[in-house]
Amino acid sequence: MLYLCILLGFVLFGGIAMTVGEGLWSNTITFFVITFSGLLGVFAGVPLGVFAMEKTGKEADFGWYFIFAGMWLTFALSVTILRLLADRGSKVRMRFIPQLEAVGGPLMGLLVAVMFVSFATYTLERVPFRAGEWDRSKASSWQNTMLQTLQRPFYNVVKPFARSEGVDHPFLGKS
């Protein structure tokens, strides 16, 4: 569990480092792309994983592998497609007041990194932990708190969306 927390910290740092210089316009588009792709990953990736598991004929013990892979495959594919569409649709980079760009660009870069790490933590918490493959009871309290805190931003997006669409899903249970 310690290594997972360290890895998520490095991913967060890497996300911030990669997006801090991209500018307000690019980071805002990326934020919406990651958020929407995360929703697609959760709501379309699970059925895709179940479908793949049924087609391969594997027993239910391997279900979490397929569901996890389906979520991430759907996420990666939708991020790629949506970002390409956004880049083609917005060839001209919007200009902002230099002071707004200087503050807003890094701030949106921080939000992009947080949302990506939050999606990663959410998928880890909802699939391998809930499947019982990874034991959270052996983790220290700060590790459990860190995982809960990191998954919270994406959870706060998924839960109202699922409620408004009337989706009842085992991966959307109480956090």
Confidence of residue 92 (pLDDT cuts 50, 70, 90): confident
pLDDT digits (tens, 9 = 90+) for 72-90: 999 999 999 999 999 898 7
Matching residue, tokens 């990506």: 116
Q: Rounded CA gap, 49 and 43, in Å?
A: 11
Judge whether 71 and 45 are in contact, CB under 8 Å. yes
Q: What's the whole-number mean pLDDT along residues 93-121?
A: 92
